[in-house]
Amino acid sequence: MQLGIIGLPQSGKTTIFNALTRGTVPTGNQSGRMEVHTAVVDVPDERIDRLSEMFSPRKTIYAKVTYADISGLDGSADSAGLSGQLLNQLNTMSGFIHVIRCFEDDMVPHPAGSVNPLRDLQVMDAEFLLNDMIVVERKLERLNEEMHKGAGREKSLIQREIALFTRLKTALESETLLRDIEISAEEIKSLSGFGLLTLKPVLVVFNLGEGQPAPVMEYEHHDSHVVPLQGKLEMEIAQLPAEEMHMFMEEYGIREPALNLLIRLSYDLLGVQPFFTYGPDEVRAWTVRRGATAVEAAGAIHSDLEKGFIRAEVMAYDDLMTLGSVAEVRAKGKFRLEGKQYVVQDGDLITIRFNI
């Protein structure tokens, strides 16, 4: 899971990046050049901690999320769209954390001359809409050329693609984000290589000053969440030793670190969930899409397990914690043998049996 942290210059992207990764990347990049800072972070999950206590494995491995602090977006893309280098970075992201500046700071002037969260939000959406329009129009041109040549693929396939991209173009012309229109799972899969930015889920972060209330603003789009954070304060807390961190969080009324909150919201936004494997060698969390089958979970662990899948041995995390041991889970009939089409549940403990 990769999340790109985006926003206009001086919005506090790097501050949020440091808060999420406990990093110390210098803030206040004035160069305007495209820069990318990345960090891989363990996904906090107390269930992994309890499983590790129970099984005492040699290794405990948490699920991972990659954050990328991406600079270079400034709302000035022209008819040529975003630069290829910047677009390549954005295309690899599973979704975006869009940082909106709400704080006032005379020492850090806003590039537009004033702080206006709604304007900044609309500027970035407009830039992504423009980029997607360029991509869609170019694809339609190629499809129409292919249709007129009359050779190669079946015309019915080309016509189906033309219908899809025409629908996308109509939506974009009306300034509708692509994640707000109805697109089937099969169509989404076919569009995965085009890097359509308004199709990706977005977590909007209102970056507040200390003690500042969040702005009242609606952002009612599909696959979108809005969350207020005191970015600078969260960054300072994240860089403290653990014992001091909890003391400061309590003092400022912060119930959980930004890292935990945004990861939880990101999981919900991206439609993914964890499952666990366990044993004396390793307790580990894996991430799959919600609705994934047992054979997909096997593939997340290793392609050989997917190819040679026989069955999945499954128990629920809550059952294990309630009953206290795998033996008791078996004794109470809560240990299940499932086939390929079993739909994995959040927190399942799974052992894959396979043969190659």
CATH code of domain 291-354: 3.10.20.30
In the numeric block, which tokens belong to residue 201?
């889920």
DSSP string, 172-231: HHTT--GGGS---HHHHHHTGGG--GGGS-EEEEEEPPTTPPPP------TTEEEEEE-H
pLDDT per residue over 6-63, tens digit each? 999 899 999 999 988 888 888 765 555 778 899 998 888 899 999 999 999 999 999 9
pLDDT per residue over 54-102, tens digit each? 999 999 999 998 999 998 787 776 656 677 888 888 998 999 999 999 9
Task: Kindly report the three-state secondary structure assignment for every residue of 112-147.
Answer: CCCCCHHHHHHHHHHHHHHHHHHHHHHHHHHHHHHH
Q: Residue 56's pLDDT is what?
A: 94
Q: What is the mean pLDDT of each run of 10 residues along the chain (356 residues)?
A: 91 91 76 80 91 95 92 71 82 93 88 90 92 93 84 82 94 94 89 91 92 86 90 86 80 78 85 93 94 95 94 96 95 95 96 91
Claim: this prediction has a pTM higher than 0.75 = yes
Q: Strand, coil or helix: what is 313? A: strand
Q: Residue 77's pLDDT is what?
A: 63
Domains of the chain, by residue range, sit at: 291-354
With contact defined as beta carbons under 8 Å apart, do 310 and 353 qualify?
Answer: yes
* Number of neighbouring beta carbons within 10 Å of residue 303: 10
Q: Strand, coil or helix: what is 44? A: coil
Q: Residue 206's pLDDT is what?
A: 95
With CA atoms as reference, report the closest residue to 105 among 190, 42, 11. Answer: 11
With contact defined as beta carbons under 8 Å apart, do 296 and 273 qualify?
Answer: no
With CA atoms as reference, report the closest residue to 240 among 2, 22, 11. Answer: 22
In the numeric block, which tokens belong to residue 263?
């990861």
Q: Residue 15's pLDDT is what?
A: 92
